[in-house]
Structure 1
């Protein structure tokens, strides 16, 4: 891996919020290019020695010692059933992409690492509908006429680990019995993430509208306004991912703040991305709150705090009108 490539990661991530996405491109054997958001990449190494731990799912090649930290290593080609998966990941060749997201660090074995590219988000498209519920793609795009498949690494890991979608909340985490009915708009391109958020909202007794990218969400909110309804009255809050095709969460939040009809809406950014830069961007674009993925308890706490405020304002208005 070229050291200059790694040195450009921080520079590339500064494009976030300008509706552009920096992708680390790699191969899993064969000619097909795959991509992952560089925000998730900590470093790229020549494949280190791996040691085995009992109980690891078969998709894991082992555990690597990375700077004194034990990092589980997933054979990415094996995990997605890549037909051109070579022997690189089985031999002492290839690369280890060390990533951090969803509050954890993990490594992915790949055959080769190409480069970092900067793609306009409008050129990143949802994957084709293949009729397969467990698709490993979150988006597709092109660079220099080559097709790039952007992997939903969160869903891949969740399915391998059989992450529960219906994590139970504490009994006290409920809205008051007299709380008015409320709705939340959820925007996330990951099927797994949408199911996780819906599970939390269902337990709170809150309705949800689920959309898969920021452009859909913005158009949906503007259509509500055009129909004569206040979007801020229909939805108590917007819960949005950050990295999405068509329009990312930073840009969605910026556009909400720019639109007079939407400017007062409460926006919570909910993302697997981490780091000081991400926190500063959340503040810069005008989001009300930020919760890193994925803790049902933390998400429920933040949602409940907002819903209590909304319920109190509704009761106050009703009392004043009585």
Structure 2
């Protein structure tokens, strides 16, 4: 794929994702071992060679920050992260090194890798969630694992990496008081495959007594929880919304993505009245139509937790006033 090639996007609601596979050649004694990783194409701005002028500061906030350069396309100076060093590996010298320039959570970062493989379209149901042992081995750096053409590809948790490289950004993104008030308790089912984000959103929302938060790590897990609660509500003779007021879901998740979860909720007569709000680094003005097409009640880009909380309460108040 050339640096100027436009990155394609999958159709909404198909539970598919386009993964760009790349590799790091890891120095292992006298030999070199190639390891494969992946990133959602929607987070990639550009692939480029290492610029001639890379500033190498004498000190950095994290040892894996290799330098910084002027990204002319956006007229910004952005950091370069040596991904091998972040993963506590030694990258072997090579002539194919590339920078993967990403943008999500309102942050641009360049990641130094050994080379790019290609883009694959895969179903999220074929992407496995890492088990406890892999999480411990990788410092929770992987959000999914998939077999692509005989290679095990680890999908990196880029959001966690960026927050870890700049701890203050995590506080700015999620560790904020919403300052909202409500005459009702809003029971939120929050769905996100990233444990760090689940903890941060729960902490941020529950600082205000308007919210209680239950968490799920995938769309499938959330759907199972909702169906159990629907059965419980039927037994008790109460509306399901007394047990779960709203669902707040990420978009990018193994097994079942947020768009597919939203469509599944809206297509199920027992669940359809539950409002679903999408909260994702993939939400932009250009992608709003995707959430609308699956019946989302609202869409919020990370890290706007405070704005999301206020809008959810305002939306619930409007629905209550209209009798919906």
Bin for the TM-score computed over the shorter chain: 0.7 to 0.9
Residue from 69, 74, 93 that aligns with 2:76: 69
- CA deviation string 1:77-104 (max 9, x = no partner): 111223x53235xxx8510001110012
* Superposition deviation, residue 274 in structure 1: 4.1
Structure 2: unaligned runs, 5 residues or longer: 26-32
Asked whether the 8 Å contact 1:97–1:107 carries over to 2, the reply is yes
Corresponding residue for 1:108? 111
Number of residue pairs matched by the alignment? 303
Over the aligned positions, Cα root-mean-square deviation in angstroms equals 2.5
TM-score (norm 2): 0.85
Name the residue aligned to 2:271: 262
1:280 partnered with 2:289: yes
Q: Out of 7, 10, 17, which is 1:9 matched to?
A: 7
Superposed, 1:29-178 pairs within 5 Å as: 29=25, 30-49=33-52, 50-53=54-57, 56-57=60-61, 58-67=63-72, 68-82=75-89, 85-88=91-94, 94-130=97-133, 132=136, 134-162=139-167, 163-164=170-171, 167-169=175-177, 173-176=179-182
Q: Does 1:294 find its partner at 2:292?
A: no
- In the alignment, which residue of structure 1 is the partner of 2:29? none
TM-score for the superposition, normalised by structure 1: 0.86
Indicate if the aligned counterparts of 2:250 and 2:280 stay in contact, CA closer than 8 A. yes
Question: Residue 251 of structure 1: which of 260, 264, 270 is its match?
Answer: 260
Query: Which residue of 2 is the match for residue 320 of structure 1?
Result: none
Alpha carbons 1:187, 1:211 under 8 Å: kept: yes
Determine if contact 2:251/2:278 at 8 Å carries over to the other structure: yes
Q: Kindly state the Cα deviation for residue 166 of structure 1 after the two structures are TM-superposed.
A: 6.4
Tell me if the contact between 2:157 and 2:194 (Cα under 8 Å) persists in the aligned partners: yes
3-state SS in 1 of match to 2:221: helix
CA apart distance, 1:269: 0.2
Q: Is the 8 A contact 2:38 2:156 kept in 1?
A: yes
Q: What CA distance in whole angstroms lies between the structure 2 residues aligned with 1:209 and 1:159?
A: 24
The answer to whether the Cα contact below 8 Å between 2:247 and 2:274 also exists between their aligned partners in 1 is yes
